[in-house]
Amino acid sequence: MTLIELMAALAIAAAVSAGALAVTAGLGRSGRAGAADQTRYELGDGLHRLLEAELAHAERYRKTPGGFQLQGHWALEGPSARIAHLPATVTYELKPSAGRKWLVRTQQVENLPPRSDLVAAGVESIELRTKAEGRPVVDREGWRAVSSEAAVVVRMDTGTQEVFDFRLR
């Protein structure tokens, strides 16, 4: 084996190793991006389903600092969060803890103790937009009737934003 052959073999080996490293790194990035996509998709899908059911059963809403409240006939019961169509007031609000904001759903059914469930972590803001905003306020406490179309905008602390559009009636 001449010196030239040895140099050529080393160059090829270096090129193949660099390629292999690049592919492996790409796979890792793709895997992490895929996992992040999957997490984002699952979170978005879960939030979409929850909010859709919540708004479909809601009759009135009002905005609160950092969230919103709904009055309707949809509640969760028991440790398995079984669906029950009971008159309930549901509050979506952000609670800061350990340097992050957590989206918490709290429901109040008549005289029962309030029930709180963690919905998502790392939510920067949540906003309910409905076409009913032009309508008159239903009562002194600021409740308005939920209209046929609504959207919920959720901004995550990662900088991403999800807009969920709903046709309700």
Partner 1 sequence: MVIGPKKSGFVLLVVLVVLAIAATVLAATARRCGSRAMAAGEMAREIQLRWGTISLKNLCLNSAGSLLNSTTADDGPARRIGKSLDLGGVRFQLVIADEGAKANVNLLAAQKTIGDLEPALMDLQADCRRVLPVVLRPVAPAGGRISALPMRYISLSQVLGFKHPAELIDPQSQEPSASDRLTCWGNGLVNFKTAPRQILRAVAGEVLSEGYIEKLRKLVAQKPTCSLAEAIKHLELNDDRAKKVRDLLTDRSSCFSLWVIADDGSRTWHRLYVRSSADTRNDREDWTFQW
Q: Which residues bind partner 1 (CB under 8 A)?
A: 1, 9, 12-13, 16, 19-20, 23-24, 27, 30-31, 34, 38, 41, 53, 56-57, 59-60, 71, 73-74, 82-87, 110, 138-139, 143, 167-169
- Cα(15)–Cα(9) distance, integer angstroms: 10
Tokens of 80: 């398995």
Q: Choose between 83 and 118: whose C-beta lies nearer to partner 1.
A: 83
Closest CB 103 distance from partner 1, rounded Å: 21
Closest CB 140 distance from partner 1, rounded Å: 11
Q: Choose between 31 and 100: whose C-beta lies nearer to partner 1.
A: 31
Nearest to 120 by CA among 64, 72, 162, 149: 162
Q: Choose between 13 and 163: whose C-beta lies nearer to partner 1.
A: 13
Contact 154, 92 (CB under 8 A): no
Closest CB 48 distance from partner 1, rounded Å: 10
Closest CB 27 distance from partner 1, rounded Å: 6
Contact 47, 164 (CB under 8 A): yes
Contact 146, 73 (CB under 8 A): no
Contact 150, 143 (CB under 8 A): no
Instruction: Report H helices in 57-161.
Output: none
Q: Choose between 28 and 100: whose C-beta lies nearer to partner 1.
A: 28
Q: Choose between 60 and 101: whose C-beta lies nearer to partner 1.
A: 60
Q: Are strands 149-156 and 144-145 parallel, antiparallel or unpaired?
A: unpaired
Closest CB 163 distance from partner 1, rounded Å: 17
